[in-house]
Copies of this chain bind each other. A is one copy, B any other.
Amino acid sequence: MDIPRKDVHNSDTPLLCQACESRHRGVCGALTSDQLLRLSKHSTRRSVEPGTELVGESLQAKSYSNIISGVVKLSKMMADGRQQIVGLQFAPDFLGRPFRAENGVSAEAATDVKVCSFPRNVIERMIGEMPELEHKLLEQTLTELDEARDWMLTLGRKTAAEKVASFLLLISTHAFPDNEAESVAFDLPMSRVDIADFLGLTMETVSRQLTKLRKDNVIHIVNNRHVSVPDLTRLSDRAGY
């Protein structure tokens, strides 16, 4: 995106952060240059491929991350293998559960993902010292709670057709948060199986509903992943709003 501008007045902002697309968004937006410097001493950036587990059993418990780009899926699994995706996270969301062991939620990269990670103890210390940081976290958590509850309505009360339309609408709005136009186009960040696991359906049902939307010209699909929506209002109607 933006190339970092030289800024003498901010020469103490860490280089890594100057180049970060999320510098002013997400939790880092709450930090001063000094604080960023402290944090960046312990931060590491990495890019991961789709399918990489970011929180689970492996490398998670000791670190928190900011999502810089890409989509992360949060999911839960039952003993017999049934799976439910309980949330999608986009940049600049914060990844990781402060003050608590993860509650059986695992996080996995859905697309190529870039994250900036910090050790758990550094973050927790800073949270204790900086009310503003905790405030940002509360805001994000409240947003996630709203989204979770919206999705509960989708899972519990919508038909398969409405669910699939709701999913497409969700991706439309999150891919371009301030899109005002009536049409959009995007790549689906996940497979039919993942979509089914997010909607509480089977892959086949998802596929059939996509076909129906396609036949009704509500959407166009090329190469299975690329979707264009000529009229968001019509999609929204199909989603039950």
A interface, CB within 8 angstroms of B: 74, 76, 78-79, 82-84, 86-87, 97-100, 103-105, 131, 134-135, 137-139, 141-142, 144-146, 148-153, 155-158, 197, 199-200, 240-241
Q: How far is the CB of A147 from chain B (nearest CB, A)?
A: 9
Q: Look across to chain B and name the residue whose beta carbon is closest to the beta carbon of A105.
A: B149
Q: Look across to chain B and name the residue whose beta carbon is closest to the beta carbon of A74.
A: B149
Q: Look across to chain B and name the residue whose beta carbon is closest to the beta carbon of A241.
A: B79
A151's partner among B74, B152, B241 (CB-CB below 8 A) is B152
Q: How far is the CB of A135 from chain B (nearest CB, A)?
A: 6
**A150 and B78: CB pair below 8 A?**
no
CA distance A76 to B138 in the complex (A): 22
Q: How far is the CB of A186 from chain B (nearest CB, A)?
A: 24
Number of copies: 2
Q: Which residues of B contact A105 (CB under 8 A)?
A: 149
Q: How far is the CB of A162 from chain B (nearest CB, A)?
A: 9
Q: Which residues of B contact A157 (CB under 8 A)?
A: 78, 82-84, 200
Q: List 18 interface pairs A-B (beta carbons < 8 Å), by A numbering.
A: A76-B153, A78-B157, A79-B240, A84-B153, A98-B142, A99-B139, A104-B150, A131-B131, A131-B134, A134-B135, A134-B138, A141-B141, A141-B142, A144-B145, A148-B149, A152-B155, A156-B199, A156-B200
**A84 and B152: CB pair below 8 A?**
yes
Question: With A134-B131, A134-B134, A134-B135 given, is the CB distance from A99 to B142 under 8 Å?
Answer: yes
Q: How far is the CB of A164 from chain B (nearest CB, A)?
A: 14
**B76 and A149: CB pair below 8 A?**
yes
Q: Which residues of B contact A84 (CB under 8 A)?
A: 152-153, 156-157
